[in-house]
């Protein structure tokens, strides 16, 4: 009688999952501005990955025989470049980051993984953690604030739900809060405050109620509180100057 291959396959899968449980990752944030990135796949998952890479400043190329509406829209906005073709060896050359959203074909997965390994590239194959040398956390963004939630690949769905829970704890007011913090940091550095003084300032900033003002829509009170706090550290900045500098910072961020 022939041996049933299913128990062997189950054991192999269990071995892969056990190895994944033992993996330890080093959290890091990458500067990928103007760096080439490749996404393989044409569905909504590929579109999400391509949009996120582009938002971080990467030069994104998407390879697929067909493209979803979201990817076509990204191309119209000149956010990504679409290459209408099947993946072939050599397509990954020059890329810093590769993300493949084509997990139905094990042969294709292995081919992409092997080429990326040859080039020593950062490679993530969606839902195939043993064919990734980096994984993507679930991310909450509030302006300059980034909160990443990762289960180290063991349960992305739980990571997503934890991130959704955190959205309620970190309202959209945090965007303006960190814009204000970034501007005040420039002021206190320009005025030569020491590290200890800067640290003390942001301790006061954190405990000042500025965030609560912004959350409640009291922007003027938040700005006035910031000006008073700066004055306490012998930095004389008017509310008008603060508003203008914040507007300029927002405009510059939008152009970058």
Report the C-alpha gap between 76 and 252 in whole angstroms: 24
The predicted structure's pLDDT at residue 20: 52
The predicted structure's pLDDT at residue 246: 84
- Would residue 117 count as lying in a domain? yes
For residue 219 the two structure tokens come to 């922007």
The predicted structure's pLDDT at residue 176: 93
Q: Are residues 52 and 126 in the same domain?
A: yes
CA distances from 243 to 130, 151, 185, 208 (A): 49, 40, 15, 19
Backbone angles phi, psi at 41, to 5 degrees: 135, 155
- Would residue 103 count as lying in a domain? yes
What does 86-110 look like in DSSP terms, one character per residue? ---TTTTTT-SEEEE---S-HHHHH
- DSSP 8-state code for residue 158: H
- Would residue 72 count as lying in a domain? yes
Number of domains in the chain: 2
Which single residue is written with the structure tokens 């994944």?
Answer: 20
- Would residue 153 count as lying in a domain? no
- Would residue 20 count as lying in a domain? no
| Residues 150, 159 contacting (CB under 8 angstroms) | yes
- DSSP 8-state code for residue 150: -
Q: Parallel, antiparallel, or unpaired: how do β-strands 97-100 and 36-40 relate?
A: parallel
The predicted structure's pLDDT at residue 245: 87
The predicted structure's pLDDT at residue 16: 52
Mean pLDDT by 10 residues, the chain (256 residues): 56 54 81 97 96 96 97 97 97 97 87 97 92 92 92 87 94 94 94 94 96 94 95 93 85 63
The predicted structure's pLDDT at residue 59: 98
Final residue of a domain: which of 114, 136, 158?
136
The predicted structure's pLDDT at residue 71: 98
- In terms of Cβ atoms closer than 10 Å to its own Cβ (0-12, 13-18, 19+), residue 229 is middle
Task: Provide the residue range defining the domain that includes 230.
Answer: 173-255
- Would residue 149 count as lying in a domain? no
The predicted structure's pLDDT at residue 204: 96
């Amino acid at each position: 009688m022939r041996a049933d291959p299913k128990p062997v396959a189950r054991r192999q899968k269990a071995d892969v999952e056990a190895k994944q449980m033992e993996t330890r990752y080093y959290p890091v944030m990458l500067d990928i501005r103007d760096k080439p990135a490749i996404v393989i796949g044409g569905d909504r998952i590929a579109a999400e990955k391509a949009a996120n890479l582009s938002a971080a400043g990467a030069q994104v190329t998407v390879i697929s025989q067909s493209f979803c509406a979201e990817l076509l829209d990204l191309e119209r906005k000149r956010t990504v470049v679409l290459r209408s073709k099947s993946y072939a060896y050599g397509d990954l050359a020059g890329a810093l980051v590769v993300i493949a959203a084509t997990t139905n074909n094990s042969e294709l997965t292995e081919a992409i993984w092997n080429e990326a390994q040859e080039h020593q590239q950062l490679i993530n194959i969606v839902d195939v953690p043993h064919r990734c040398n980096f994984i993507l956390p679930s991310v909450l963004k509030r302006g300059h604030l980034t909160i990443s939630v990762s289960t180290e690949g063991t349960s992305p769905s739980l990571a997503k739900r934890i991130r959704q829970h955190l959205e309620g704890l970190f309202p959209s007011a945090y965007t303006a809060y960190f814009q204000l913090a970034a501007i005040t940091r420039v002021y206190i550095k320009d005025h030569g405050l020491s590290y200890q003084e800067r640290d003390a300032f942001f301790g006061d900033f954190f405990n000042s109620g500025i965030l609560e003002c912004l959350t409640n829509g009291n922007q003027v009170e938040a700005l006035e509180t910031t000006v008073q706090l700066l004055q306490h550290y012998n930095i004389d900045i008017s509310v008008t100057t603060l508003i203008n500098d914040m507007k300029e910072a927002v405009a510059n961020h939008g152009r970058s």
